[in-house]
Amino acid sequence: MTDQAATLTICARGLTRRFGAHVAVKDISLELRRGEVLGFLGPNGAGKTTTMHMLTGNLAPSAGSIHICGIDLLEEPKLAKAKIGYLPETPPLYRELTVDEYLTLAAKLHRIPKAERAPAIERVKQRCGLVDAGRQLIGTLSKGYQQRVGIAQAIVHSPDVVILDEPTVGLDPNQIREIRVLIRELGGAYSVILSTHILPEVETVCDRVQIMHHGTLVFNDTIAGLKQFHSGRTVLLGLGRPPAPSVLAAVAGVASVEPLASTLFRVGFADGGNAGEELVRQSVANDWGLYQLSPAQSTLEDVFVNLTRREENP
């Protein structure tokens, strides 16, 4: 086994899932490495949930292969699933149980030996900030603490891979901040896949991003890489004496103009063209006072909207 293969916790190749004539996921591949937090994104109906159900062994692919820590999920499902912790969008909580009772049940379901259960439960309570909540009924806890319990059940058996589906949905800003810190900490001990619609969350906690659209992967890069995505087609334009945005938008090759401040604009170029030279020429000719023309870094929202909207409206 190569060093690279040894670091892979998930290796999926050619995953496809059909529901009758409908192809929900088409020939996607995915890799996850130890200690990595992967942001898994896409608009509704993109195929994210179907993909996660396949990765967790809850849904068989129509084609393709999945290996969890080198174990074939389809050939040896029990061994492979033991390496996975999963928090679905609706946490599988029993509101009438205390936190300790619920985590004990989760430990039994994950076949943790009896002598090891109490230490395992204390360990995840410590990690998830639940030390003082053990005797509380889950139904009496805040939404944020219920999410902590959901994450605790996903890691009680010390899996290699943790898959989190919308872990901060419905939380207030303080709770979101706390869960983000927890996810970042989990990335130091496990491999994490985070599916969310909150794009700033991904930029805050993830190392790499994959975007799905219409059942296929349309983007796969690091957070640093996404900031350079389309950087050559978007510039920051600073003008000391700017004209109206409509005048800038009329420059040949300009596709969009977004005012960022009174003298600063984000300008997008049309495909296949570069309006930079024309902007410089008109700035000099019209005394616009050009003081900045530089590539603009893309945000995750820029990339997400560009990829999904572009494919919807070719």
DSSP state of 314: -
- Tell me the domains of the chain and their CATH numbers: 3-226 (3.40.50.300), 231-297 (3.30.70)
Q: What are phi and psi of 269, to 5 degrees?
A: -95, 150
Give the model's confidence band at 99: pLDDT under 50 very low, under 70 low, under 90 confident, else very high: very high
Position 153 pLDDT exceeds 90 = yes
- Residue 78: other Cβ atoms inside 10 A: 9
What is the mean pLDDT of the segment spanning 171-192? 87
Q: Rounded to the nearest 10 degrees, what angle do helices 173-189 and 114-127 cross at?
A: 130
Angle between helices 114-127 and 143-155 (to 10 degrees): 140
Confidence of residue 310 (pLDDT cuts 50, 70, 90): low
Q: What are phi and psi of 100, to 5 degrees?
A: -65, -40
pLDDT over threshold 90, residue 308: no
Q: Give the single-character DSSP code of 141.
A: S
Residue 242, phi then psi, degrees to nearest 5? -75, 150
Output the pLDDT for position 2.
Answer: 45
Rounded distance between C-alpha atoms, residue 134 and residue 130, angstroms? 7
Q: Under a CB-based contact definition with an 8 Å cutoff, are residues 66 and 29 in contact?
A: no
Tens digit of each residue's pLDDT (9 = 90 or more) over 40-54 = 998 888 999 899 999
pLDDT above 90 as % of the chain: 61
Query: What is the DSSP-derived secondary structure letter of residue 58?
Result: S
* Span 140-150, pLDDT tens digits: 999 999 999 99
Identify the pLDDT of residue 85. Answer: 95
Eight-class DSSP state of 298: P
DSSP 8-state symbol, 45: T
- Per-residue pLDDT of 259-298, as tens digits, reads 988 999 988 888 666 788 899 999 999 999 999 998 776 6
pLDDT of res. 94: 96
Q: Could you report the per-residue pLDDT of 56-72, keeping only the tens digit for each? A: 999 999 999 999 999 99
Pairing verdict, β 63-68 and 8-19 = antiparallel
Q: Which residues contact 63 (CB under 8 A, 6 or more apart)?
A: 14, 15, 16, 27
Binned at pLDDT 50, 70 and 90, residue 133 comes out as very high
Could you read off the pLDDT of 2-17 as tens digits, one per residue? 445 558 899 999 999 9
Judge whether residue 78 has pLDDT over 90: yes
